[in-house]
Amino acid sequence: MSIDSIQDLEVVNSFAQLPPAFYTRLATTPLRRPRLLHANASVAGLLGLSPRALAGQDFLDVCAGSVPLRGGQTLSAVYSGHQFGVWAGQLGDGRAHLLGEVITPQGPMEIQLKGSGRTPYSRMGDGRAVVRSSVREYLASEAMAGLGIPTTRALAIVVGDDPVYRETEERAAVVARVSPSFIRFGSFEHWGGSPQNLRILLDYVIDRFYPECRVQDNPGESALRFLRQVVARSARLVADWQTVGFCHGVMNTDNMSILGLTMDYGPYGFMDGFQINHVCNHTDAQGRYAWNAQPSVVNWNLYRLASCLTVLDIEADALRAELQHYEDDFLAAYRGNLVRKFGWLQWREGDDMLVDDWWRLLHNQQADFTLGFRRLAQALSDPEPWLDLFSDRAAAQAWLAAYAQRLTLENRPDAERIAAMQSANPLYVLRNHLAEQAIQAAHREDSGEIETLLKLLRDPYVEQPGYEDYAQPAPEWACRLEVSCSS
């Protein structure tokens, strides 16, 4: 049965039951004259909220941080982490507040506000988010969900009149985020020198999210099984990122979900023209988080996570043995994704060479990542739309001939293959210029572009008549867009 008020949700506070060292309980800092820019009916439905609930004053009050969630215990969590490969020490929810945990048919879901004011972990920050970054996160999390990639979700975005100073003066906004948990690798790193608290956190995470890993009377084996599952989930996640052309932009250990979710959207980007070493974050001058580096960065982050567990008297060799599964896990997920995207039935010997040639073709000609895959489905019968993506058509035709030869190894009807490829290769992704158009409209408090993009991104594999402009290569002006850690 749908609930007509956010204040009538069944709320628990399991994270708040951890010792006080894990968080600080504090109130949010309300926005000045808050207005609801957009509410996500899809995510609201996951929580059991009716459409009527989204129009209520209490929904705005909670999502703006003006009043607490009834039954919740508002808090901000502490964690640490490595940022750009360097130990940064204590970090934490510098601008986020966990309101509580909602009981749903899919399991408990936490509601967290981002941009809701200063906390003890803000360091030199103001505790705020701006309209620009909030719209980007709101759209990106829903885009990833539409692609079937594990992610946190977005419930609502609220704007206010408070000025916020980044590169220029901007206006404050708050995003209400939803996830089973916001615990991250950095949460474990924070307790790397405290075996007692690390054990408390590990037991909490295993009991709530990895119960199959629990081995009675053998905590060391439980920890190893837990690590094995985190390795597998993280490998699958980054394989998904690679095969949709997604760059996270700031893969610090404090931005890595312990549940294998995409989280903390900032200077991310879906590639337009493909570059194997594409860097979407203007702040990342060294290219640490380039597209082709993402799999190795995840592996590096997993080693940082595993190193914390040595304080629990777990042998380093046993931890390394679990980490060694990463490459196989990644390759299995990566190749599985590519099998579907190329319309094959299975991975065969020699496919690595054809795939390498594919990336080289896209890179050398800066061809559009998304449309390169999407139009390939029909390129054998109608090659012109696909060939139009390449400046060197002869090179593209040569690769297409090799691809056609590869297809002859499998007795698959063309119609079946085309349908399968179209269900694996999105037509719509959240390109930077589309997000920018939604941001500009949001500055006018017009949520029309947000609504349009959500409509397309929730089902990105199905062509929607009348929205052809959203399925085109990026315009020239999009090349001048830059996103950074302040995004």
DSSP assignment, residue 475?
P
Whether residue 61 lies in the annotated active site: no
Instruction: Decide if 119 contacts 287 (C-beta within 8 A).
Output: no
**Distances, alpha carbon 84 to alpha carbons 81, 93, 251, 287, 351, in Å:** 10, 18, 8, 10, 34
The answer to whether 213 touches 309, Cβ cutoff 8 Å, is: no
In DSSP notation, 225-278 reads HHHHHHHHHHHHHHHHHHTTTEE-S---GGGSBTTS-B---SS-EE-SB--TT-
| Catalytic annotation, pick one of 93, 162, 254, 264 | 254
Q: Which tokens is 276 given?
A: 């194997």
Paired residues of 35 in beta bridges: 159
Distance CA 67, CA 35 (A): 14
β-bridge pairing 109-114 and 80-83: unpaired
Instruction: Return d(Cα 271, Cα 285) in angstroms, integer.
Output: 18
Q: Tokens 């894990």 appear where?
A: 22
Q: What is the DSSP letter of 351?
A: H
**What is the C-alpha to C-alpha distance for residues 239 and 337, in angstroms, rounded to an integer?**
8
Sign of the CA dihedral running 156, 161, 164, 168: positive
Residues in the chain: 487
* Residue 75, strand partner residues: 25, 98
All residues at 6 or more sequence positions from 140 whose CB lies less than 8 Å from its CB, including other chains = 265, 268, 430, 435
CA-wise closest residue to 39 among 122, 149, 154, 131? 154
Catalytic positions, written as ranges: 254
